[in-house]
Chain A
Amino acid sequence: MVKNASRAQLFLFSAATNNPHRIHYDRAYAKSEGHSDLLVHGPLQGAWLHQFVSDWAGPTGRVLALSWQNRGRAFPERDLTFRGRVTEVRGDEVALEVWEEDPTGAVLMPGTARVRLPRRG
């Protein structure tokens, strides 16, 4: 799954979460804190990771647990790619390793998930 946040999306996410932090909409302020551009919210990346796992599990699958570490900065107008691999299958429960990469392939957000998949047949 690839996400690419416009500046308008950052604004809308700030509004939807009542988050007035200036690093997400005031570029001059973000630069004064040493960032080269506006920053994509950590929780927006968390919401994307949830979407990635939930879409993979399908409508009758269930996300049981999700965790992530915020390791690197993510910027708007750049592709952010979500990937994952199955690490364990136990009955109908699957453990996943998941992560978000920036366009250079650097991992910005490593995480893990536990999902219950629908039984076949």
Chain B
Amino acid sequence: MSGLIPEETVALVGELLDEPMTSTITAKESQRFALAAGDMNPIYFDESAAREAGYRGIVVPPIFLAWALAPYRPLDELREDGLYTARGKRVALRVKRVMFAAEEWEYLAPVYVGDTMTATVRLESLEEKHGSSGPFVLQTTETRYTNQQGVLVARARGRSIAR
């Protein structure tokens, strides 16, 4: 019997947490991201520079995938702190707060401007642990990004700590 993880939440491990999300990435949104991050790498802006570097077209900063596929939301779905209310299946835990802890990305193939990308998010694991400030849950999700050819181009594992 686990203290912080209810039985019905344990059943979600291995399941997809939401419907797959699909979007076609435009040059404008990709370059807006690179500019806001202050990353002027020419492969994100200039086709000939990208080809010279061995790519077949203008590249999308791979970390941008995390936002490129998120749907826009209406204002009435905003919370007091400005975040949007949670979507999809809720991972209910007996905790007060969830803190983002770590990310692990594997880049398997380039992402190009104009690619139609699909993301699926799966709850990979829930582990109850005991730290110096008491029990907590380490929650791990895995997001897989595939392109219009069905090629897996990136895998991102996100870990958060709930206590």
Contacts and interface: CB of A to CB of B under 8 A. Distances in A.
Interface stretch (B30-38, B120-128, B135-143): B30-38
Contacts of A16: 29, 32-33, 35-37, 67
Contacts, number: 93
Interface in B1-52: 29, 32-33, 35-39, 41-43, 49, 52
A58 B91 CA distance: 41
A15 interface: yes
A80 to B, nearest CB: 11
B72 A43 contact: no
A47 B53 contact: no
A46 interface: yes
Interface of B: 29, 32-33, 35-39, 41-43, 49, 52-54, 61-63, 66-67, 70, 72, 78, 81-84, 100-107
Interface of A: 3, 9, 12-13, 15-23, 26, 29, 33, 42-44, 46-48, 50-51, 54-55, 59-60, 62-70
